[in-house]
């Protein structure tokens, strides 16, 4: 056999060997991805429940009794129609707000473009939270809006009056570490507790102010200190909260049920 034939045979075997290895690797990756998918889904759900409980002020209870048990005992997911503010039907376990917001048939165009959204889903899943006596103690509302670099996702925890803040929790963002990402800093999150979203005339009054409380032009109950060195992220949070508390967000729901949830009025 000539050297040329031997070279061709060696090359062919090499190609076949590489091809087989690639197939095996692809199969292993596919199997691993499939087997890990349930675990990834479970971890994502656990993280979601953890953040919802934090927004409701139940982190200590969850740490003691477990996230799943605490969520199961105290939290009631509910669908609402954003346009009317009324409760509606749906399966919260499979609901995908991000998918619905891209579906023209299931979403509406956003008029307030300052929030950084083109469309928002027509429905939302909110979380009503009970106390030990079984009365509704608070409501956790999902929020989404533009930060400096990208869309940020979070929750607002409000007392049952749908005005007084328990927590504001962001869980997904791409902000700059040490600057905009400080929305996740416990010290900044603690500034929100006890603040009020609306004034006595039911107008949105909450504002994030740059330079500290000395620059608050209204009652300090309506002001939160901005993130140091992160003006655009702070502005994004401010716009996001104003949008979701307004007419295009949870405004109709808040107008309908504010001050009534703790009485069990859900109709």
| Tens-digit pLDDT profile for residues 129-147 | 999 988 999 999 999 999 9
Report CA 208 to chain centroid distance, whole Å: 19
Q: Identify the residue with better confidence: 15 or 85.
A: 85
3-state SS, the chain, equals CCHHHHHHHHHHHHHHHHHHHHHHHHHHHHHHHHHHHHHHHHHHHHHHHHHHHHHCCCHHHHHHHCHHHHHHHHEEEEEEECCCCCEECCCCCCCCHHHHHHCHHHEEECCCHHHCCCEEECEEEEEEEECCCCCEEEEEEEEEEECCCCEEEEEEEEECCCCEEEEEEEEECCCCCCCHHHHHCHHHHHCCCCCECECCCCCECCEEECCCHHHCCCCHHHEEECCCCCHHHHHHHHHHHHHHHCCCCCHHHHHHHCCCHHHCCCC
Q: How many CB atoms lie within 10 A of CB 150?
A: 12
Kindly state the tokens that stand for 209.
């102010």
pLDDT of residue 71 exceeding 60: yes
pLDDT of residue 2 exceeding 60: no
For position 159, what pLDDT does the model report?
A: 95
Give the tens place of pLDDT for each residue, 163-198: 999 999 999 999 999 999 999 999 999 999 999 999
For position 214, what pLDDT does the model report?
A: 86
Q: Identify the residue with better confidence: 40 or 257.
A: 257
For position 17, what pLDDT does the model report?
A: 74
Return the bridge partners of 125, or none.
Answer: 79
For position 29, what pLDDT does the model report?
A: 72
pLDDT of residue 65 exceeding 90: yes
For position 265, what pLDDT does the model report?
A: 61
pLDDT of residue 4 exceeding 70: no
For position 149, what pLDDT does the model report?
A: 94
Which residue from 241, 232, 225 is spatially nearest to 149, judged by alpha carbons?
232
Integer Cα distance of 101 and 168 in angstroms: 22
pLDDT of residue 7 exceeding 80: no
73 pLDDT tier (thresholds 50, 70, 90)? very high
For position 35, what pLDDT does the model report?
A: 66
Which residue from 267, 187, 261 is spatially nearest to 227, judged by alpha carbons?
187
Q: What is the rounded average pLDDT for all residues in the chain?
A: 89
23 pLDDT tier (thresholds 50, 70, 90)? confident
Give the tens place of pLDDT for each residue, 212-236: 888 888 899 999 999 999 999 999 9
Residue pair 71/52 in contact (Cβ under 8 Å)? The answer is: yes
């Amino acid at each position: 056999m000539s050297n040329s034939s031997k070279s061709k045979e060696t090359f062919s075997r090499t190609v076949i060997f590489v091809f087989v290895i690639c197939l095996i690797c692809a199969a292993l990756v596919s199997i691993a991805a499939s087997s890990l998918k349930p675990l990834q889904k479970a971890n994502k759900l656990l993280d979601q429940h953890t953040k919802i409980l934090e927004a409701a002020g139940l982190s200590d209870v969850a740490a003691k009794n477990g996230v799943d048990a605490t969520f199961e005992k105290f939290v009631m997911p509910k669908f609402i129609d954003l346009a009317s503010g009324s409760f509606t039907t749906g399966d919260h376990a499979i609901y995908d707000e991000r998918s619905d917001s891209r579906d023209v048939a299931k979403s509406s165009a956003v008029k307030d473009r300052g929030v950084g959204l083109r469309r928002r889903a027509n429905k939302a899943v909110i979380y009503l939270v009970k106390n030990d006596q079984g009365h509704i103690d608070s409501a956790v509302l999902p929020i989404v809006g533009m930060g400096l670099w990208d869309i940020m996702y979070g929750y607002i925890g409000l007392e049952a009056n749908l005005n007084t803040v328990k927590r504001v929790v962001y869980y997904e963002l791409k902000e700059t570490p040490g600057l905009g990402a400080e929305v996740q800093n416990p010290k900044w999150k603690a500034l929100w507790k006890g603040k009020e979203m609306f004034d006595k005339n039911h107008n949105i009054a909450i504002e994030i102010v740059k330079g500290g409380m000395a620059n608050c032009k209204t009652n300090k109950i309506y002001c939160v200190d901005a993130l140091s060195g992160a003006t655009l992220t702070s502005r994004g949070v401010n716009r996001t909260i104003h949008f979701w508390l307004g007419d295009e967000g949870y405004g109709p729901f808040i107008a309908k049920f504010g001050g009534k949830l703790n009485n069990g009025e859900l109709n």
